[in-house]
Structure 1
Amino acid sequence: MAKIASPRKADEVSKELLFRIVSGQIAPGTLLPKEEELEAEFGVGRSVVREAVKLLEVHKLVLPVRRRGTVVLDPRASLSPEVVAAFLDRRTGPSAHAFLVGLLEVRKLLDVEMAGLAAARRTDEDITALRKATEAFAARAAAGEDVEDTVLAFGLVIASATKNPIYTMLVHWNSAAVRELRPVFAGVRASAGAHAQGLAMVVEAITRGDVNEARQLTALFHDWSGPQIVAAASR
């Protein structure tokens, strides 16, 4: 009977190799260690190693080249949220801090534009959904419960209001990319009752169709939350 690869073991090997590529321990343009070397290092069978390498291919981190080996690609060219999460891994040192700052900067730009478009294009159905999402967040926060699912739901409703499906994809992408930092984001959100109030203000601006105010309030929110997130992640 053929040996069946363990998805869990393959995931573990893939995650470690992914981190080494992102951190520069395995440089772009070089070859991934041979199968036998990886088998010996991780104490797994060939089927597990091959499955792990396939996962790296999915993330656009390696490219098998006939008669040469598996070439490591530049991780900055990958759009995989798992790769972004690896860049945010504190084991990478100071670069993780710089990457988080950069990610929050881009998030602010996208969220500001998304809020403005939502204000310009929202429908009555969108307004109803936004108010429900805001109420759900406020209720969770008031009860001291985890709010991350409601934050994602809120973002998806705003994305839907833009009538641009790319924003919906970006909201899902961001949620996956920062999954490991959820405790950090949750701590910042729970530390101030102003968070729920701020979301409600953005919703009201979108409801009125006030594009400029929706953009400005969203920018102010990021100016408030960004430094707190960076500080919390550095502890």
Structure 2
Amino acid sequence: MTPLPVRREAVSDQLYAVLRDRILGGTLPPGAPLTAERDLAAEFGVNRHAVREAVKRLQQARLIEVSHGGRTLVLDWRRTAGLDLAIGIAGADSGPSIAELTRDALEMRVCVGADAARLCALRCSDHAASRIMESAGRYAVRGPDLTELGEADVAWWRLIVEGSGNIAYLLAFNSLVTGAVPVAQAPDALRADELLDVEAHLRLGTLIAAREADAAERLARELLSRSVPTTAPEAVN
């Protein structure tokens, strides 16, 4: 068998990506045994240390499981993998496309943001509420450049998510805004209706400060939903 062309730098990373793609694409279906280390080493023309490192990453991503008998079996990633898997699959040759992942991430952003606004209204301190109002005021004088508004929007939402007191929401927010999941790749034009509505941002800050949790949740959901495409956005690449 002719070894596949694999660049020598970060060999284990490349091998991990290839095996991940095979799992996502179904070439290695759930329940199937992972190809033996010696066979993978021969197929890719790499040493077994690189193979072991790649397999270790697959296990950490909960894409495979080492059974009691020593066999390594492929798991159903839709049932076992976590959000961290999104840090690479947008560029995979198989599995969800970048456009699909972007849409899905924007939908998750609506759910996290709406409930974070509700919890923030219930839980945040008066000082935190004041900071949110001040940040909304600063947002009001930004723009109309969408990139500038987007940066201000992230800073404002961070205060709201922090004010919710929910660590899981905060970690999800970090993943969304740093590009670990591809919401950060959404084109500014897609989010224009949301970002340019300064009045809604100010009103949401007021609702949080007034402790009107249900109204804050409804407005946050409506505002964030404007950036969610009805179909996967073709412009995202």
TM-score normalised according to structure 2 size = 0.75
Deviation at 1:202, TM superposition (A): 2.0
What is the CA–CA distance in structure 1 between the aligned matches of 2:155 and 2:68, rounded to whole Å?
A: 45
Aligned counterpart, 1:70: 72
What is aligned with 1:120? 122
Percent identity between matched residues is 23
Which residue in the other structure is 2:221 paired with?
219
Name the CA shift for 1:17/1:187 in 2 (closer, same or farther; >3 Å).
Answer: farther
Which amino acid letter does the alignment assign opposite residue 25 of structure 2? S
Change (3 A) 1:68 1:147: farther
Alignment of 1:202 onto 2:190: no
**Match among 52, 55, 58 for residue 53 of structure 1:** 55
Alpha carbon RMSD of aligned pairs, Å? 3.6
CA contact (8 A) 2:106 2:227 kept: no
- Counterpart CA distance in 2 for 1:77 and 1:16 is 20
Q: For structure 1, which runs of at least 5 residues remain unmatched after alignment?
A: 1-5
1:18–1:83 CA contact under 8 A, matched in 2: no
Instruction: Name the CA shift for 1:167/1:192 in 2 (closer, same or farther; >3 Å).
Output: closer
**Higher normalized helix content (fraction of residues):** 1
Residue in structure 1 matched with residue 4 of structure 2 by the alignment: none
Deviations 1:150-176 (A, max 9, x none): 554433321221223232233234446
Q: Whose relative contact order is higher, 1 or 2, with alpha carbons under 8 Å and at least 6 apart?
A: 2
Unaligned runs of 5+ in 2: 1-7
More displaced stretch, 223-232 vs 173-182:
173-182
Question: Secondary structure at the residue paired with 1:231?
Answer: coil
Does the CA-based 8 Å contact 2:33-2:72 persist in structure 1? yes
Cα deviation for residue 72 of structure 1 reads 0.9
Code of the aligned partner of 1:223: S
CA gap of 1:145–1:224, structure 2 versus 1, over 3 A, is closer
Structure 2 equivalent of residue 81 of structure 1: 83
- Quote the offset at 1:191 in angstroms: 7.0
2:18 maps to 16
Q: Give the superposition deviation at 1:39.
A: 2.3
1:23 deviates by: 2.4
Cα 1:153–1:52 change in 2 (3 A) is farther
Deviates more, 1:48-57 or 1:174-183: 174-183
In 2 relative to 1, CA 197–20 (structure 1 residues): closer, same or farther, beyond 3 Å? farther
Say which of 181, 184, 195 aligns to 1:182. Answer: 184
Q: State the distance in 2 between where 1:153 and 1:57 align.
A: 35
Distance 1:197 1:150 in 2: 15
